[in-house]
Amino acid sequence: MKKLLILLSLIMMNFSAYAQWYETQGKAYVTNGDNQKARVTAMENALKRALLVAGASVSSVQQVINGILTQDQISIRASGTVNSLELIEETYENNLLTVKIRADIFPQEKQCFSADYRKTVLLTRANILHREQASIGNIYALDTEVMRKLSAKINQEGLYLDTKLAIKNKSKFSRLNESMQYEQIKNLTMSLSDHTDTQFVMFVEIPDLSLTERTNSDFKFWQTDRLDRNFKMNLYVYNGSNGELVLDKQYQNIAAWTFDKRERVDLTSHNFWLSEYGNSIDQTLDMMIADIDEKMMCQPTKGKIVKVDGNTVMFNLGENQGVKVGDEFSLLHANNFTNDSGKTYSSFNVSSYKVKVTSTSKESATAVTPDNNLLGNIQINDIAVRY
């Protein structure tokens, strides 16, 4: 498996009126001497990132990568989103492989405004569904450590999210999800979003940490049997303003468990994260980040209005989310309601007001109406949005 560290530098060169070249650099650890697998992983993630930045489709990455990695020297031409891909550099330092690729990419004809901004997302503590499976290695703390690592990787490598962590206590999500209490999940999501000032809320379940013993053949009786360990994650991302499910995806991996059964494993150590099993978790998190970025790129970035004064509003999006002086936002009046059966619905009344940002801080922005008109019925907790 691998520990992936993407160092992304984009060098855009004019190629034609419709396409641009992007150079990306990817790093991956080589495990068990498998250079080919490390090369595939580093190139795939680097290409995904270049495609996302270019505003192009990432659906063809796996096909492109697997189709071309049949020889050491790679240079292809293909129809579709990726017009051309070249491996221009490959270096090794100890067990670390660094590759540099150059891709000629056709962007989407129309990119969304929301791609300019990072959305705030709350990461809650993961839930190990079968905690007895964590007894070997004493890895009960995986429910917090995996979320810390995911948060750090999103902030460092992700393109469209700004994270907050809430991992001291376990939420009620899994209990509600198991009993299919979806309205209560909506209410939980909206409550957490409101309390933490975030636009989206993420819940993660870990349903499988089981071990499988692989018995060696009689011809290799001198070797000890190998232990493989499963790692499965269920990812759920909800919209905090209305409690609706935005992303629901499952991930599964398996790798050798190279620690003794009686050993207490330190989940914060480099020794764990550089092991085959730690690398398999790291690879799963990289896949999650790519999927989250692709899904969240064009989600509208919504800020909650925290102050109204005449023709001026302040809302909770700022420099950390990419808001700049001069940006224009529309204002929506929130009007969520609950019907007689207790089901919650999200509703927004689109106002006629637009505002332009005049100043920003790390977490907020101040904006005014261009014509100095007073902001009629706009209230605190209404929404500022740029579609």
pLDDT tens digits, residue range 229-281? 999 999 999 999 888 899 999 999 999 999 998 999 999 999 999 999 999 99
Average pLDDT over residues 45-74: 55
The confidence score (pLDDT) of residue 72 equals: 40
Place of tokens 């209005």: 305
Indicate whether 73 pLDDT > 60: no
Global pTM value: 0.69
Q: Are strands 344-345 and 348-360 parallel, antiparallel or unpaired?
A: unpaired
pLDDT tens digits, residue range 27-48? 788 888 888 888 888 887 777 7
Cα dist from 266 to 253, 261, 263, whole Å: 21, 14, 9
The confidence score (pLDDT) of residue 7 equals: 33
Task: Tell me where in the chain the CATH 2.40.10.410 domain(s) lie.
Answer: 301-386
CATH topology of domain 4-105: Dodecin subunit-like (3.30.1660)
> 106 near 18, Cβ under 8 Å?
yes
Position 219, amino acid? F
Average pLDDT over residues 62-74: 47
Task: Tell me where in the chain the CATH 3.40.50.10610 domain(s) lie.
Answer: 113-296
The confidence score (pLDDT) of residue 137 equals: 95
What distance in Å separates the CA atoms of residue 267 and residue 310, rounded to the nearest whole number?
53
Domain 113-296 grouped into CATH 3.40.50.10610: yes
The confidence score (pLDDT) of residue 216 equals: 55
Confidence band of 360 (pLDDT split at 50, 70, 90): very high
Query: Phi/psi of residue 99, each to 5°?
Result: -120, 145
Dihedral class, residue 182 (left if φ above 0, else alpha if ψ from -120 to 50, else beta) = alpha
| CATH architecture type of domain 301-386 | Beta Barrel (2.40)
| Cα radius of gyration (the chain) | 24
pLDDT tens digits, residue range 335-352? 666 767 777 666 676 677
Task: Tell me where in the chain the CATH 3.30.1660.40 domain(s) lie.
Answer: 4-105
Cα dist from 91 to 2, 35, 69, 97, 229, whole Å: 16, 11, 16, 6, 31
> 119 near 161, Cβ under 8 Å?
yes
The confidence score (pLDDT) of residue 9 equals: 35
More confident of the two residues 132 and 119: 132
